[in-house]
A and B are shown apart, each in its own frame.
Chain A
Amino acid sequence: MTPGHLGAACAAVLRRDLLLAWRRRGDVAMPVLYALIVGTLFPFAIGPEPALLARIAAGVVLVTVLLSILLSLDGLFRADIEDGSMEQLMLAPQPLAMLVGMKMLAHWITAALPLIVVAPVLASMLHFPATAIPVLILALALATPLLSVLGAVLVALAGGARRSGMLLALMLLPLCVPVVIFAAGAVSAAQQGLPWAAPMAWLGAGLALAVVLGPLACAAALRIAMDS
């Protein structure tokens, strides 16, 4: 690929973000640890009966994953805005939406993929039936990119704000309701032996929409946040 080509630029952004994440591996492990600890608290809070835990396992895993992603989103653009590399990305001849899309992909790989790997373990600890675990993984594989994209747009909007941590939760969580409903709907249908294709298809439709519109919205939001 020739330098300056769109593909080369995207690959460079992706490589840079993955390398930065790799250099600070401890930070990447944090959301996973957080998810495991929060998941472990539930049996303490509601009692260790297997039937009860199996009933709520899918919901606990989904909400825990959502909260961990929220935690990891906070710093998504902060370092880039502070050291000025975000301005350089904006000035680049390549469309900002594509470059930002690569940053979202890098975030998903570093923050969400480890969570998907650890989710079956967490689910099994809560006595989630092993037969439904493939559906849980599929639901997470469709739901987490949606959360990454949606979250990245809101982080970009709050980029210029003074205190963004709690604000991000206030903005993101109401918008996540459909994702949680469809993902949990699919998993609990599979758990009861019912067909789960319909909610999964809705999740996929939402993901397709978000992947197309998300980077454009995120680029526009960054331009608003940096416009001062």
Chain B
Amino acid sequence: MANWVPLWLHRLGSPPVFYRFAGAVRPWALGLAIALGAVALYGGLFVAPADYQQGDAYRIIFIHVPSAWMSLFIYGAMALAAFIGLVWRIKLAETVAMASAPIGAAFTLITLATGSLWGKPMWGTWWTWDARLTSELVLLFIYLGIIGLHHAFEDRRQGARAASFLVLIGAVNVPIVHFSVNWWNTLHQGATVRLLGPSHIDASMIWPLLTMMAATKCYYVSSLFARVRADLVVAEGGKGWVRDLALDDAKDAPA
């Protein structure tokens, strides 16, 4: 009865099955991401009231904070996939981990850029050596190191395994970096949205924020699936299912 869940996951680990599954899910995820993103932007830019202290400048929060959440969430997802890939030697998990890295790096970069834009009117400077900014910058460097290591190998599989190991080393190190940098210097405003206990934010501001968070998650799924599909086709280029796929496409294409 409950047996179908592990069975389904087991089947999903097979590249052709995942290729078809990802192809079916991807348009829905992308559509949902665009729809939710539009709603969240409307809610954040037009519906939510201006902040009594920061005025309209605070509205960048609707991009900045979801991106910052995603930069850590994707690292977590990537570390989980890397762990699964290294322990059970599942090729798909390695591909997922490596395909996550550029998306995570992009969200980290968006966080840094929007944070810098927000910092100019609020703190009077584009960049300051504040704890959270610095940890985010270090996180970006770690993402870039992972991407660099992945591409430095001749053998794709070996590169993915080495980079997966680096992901796990980074996963141990990221909390230490965050803690040490916090100890070093801090200026950033404290957390306003909390999982436990009351949030310091009005309901009219929080719903666009949470909607945008859902939109970024959907975007991650859609982008990840597109990348994994492309990587799978390249990695499995010699296999029968890819040949069938290419032959089907050639048949469907207008002559």
Residues on A facing B (Cβ under 8 Å) = 153-154, 157-158, 160-164, 167, 170-171, 173-175, 177-178, 181-182, 185, 202, 206, 213, 217, 220-221, 224-225, 227-228
Contacts and interface: CB of A to CB of B under 8 A. Distances in A.
B149 A157 contact: yes
Nearest to B184: A181
B152 A163 contact: yes
Contacts of B166: 154, 157, 171
Given A160-B155, A177-B177, A224-B161, 6 more contacts: A161-B162, A171-B149, A174-B141, A221-B165, A224-B165, A228-B158
Contact of A162 (B141, B145, B153, B173): B153
Contacts of B145: 167, 170-171, 174
Contact of A170 (B144, B159, B176, B177): B144
Interface string B152-186: 11110011011001100110110011011101100
Interface in B61-111: none
A157 B155 CA distance: 14
A168 B136 CA distance: 20
B153 A177 contact: no
B228 interface: no
Contacts of A164: 152
A167 B152 contact: yes
A220 to B, nearest CB: 7
Q: Chain B contact residues (Cβ within 8 angstroms of A): what range? A: 20 to 34
B138 A174 contact: yes
A185 B181 CA distance: 11
Main secondary structure of the interface of B (DSSP, over half): helix
A175 B153 contact: no
B165 A228 contact: no
Given A160-B162, A224-B158, A225-B162, A178 B149 contact: no
Given A161-B149, A170-B148, A175 B169 contact: yes
19 contacts: A154-B169, A157-B162, A158-B149, A158-B152, A158-B162, A161-B152, A161-B159, A167-B148, A167-B149, A171-B166, A174-B145, A177-B138, A181-B184, A185-B184, A217-B169, A221-B165, A224-B161, A227-B161, A228-B155
Given A158-B152, A161-B153, A185-B184, A174 B162 contact: no
A133 to B, nearest CB: 23
B176 A162 contact: no
B218 interface: no
Nearest to B166: A157
A225 B177 CA distance: 26
A178 B176 contact: yes
B141 A170 contact: yes
A225 B162 CA distance: 7
Interface string B183-194: 110000000000
Contacts of B149: 157-158, 161, 167, 171
B177 A227 contact: no
A202 B161 CA distance: 31
Nearest to A221: B165
B112 interface: no
Contacts of A227: 158, 161
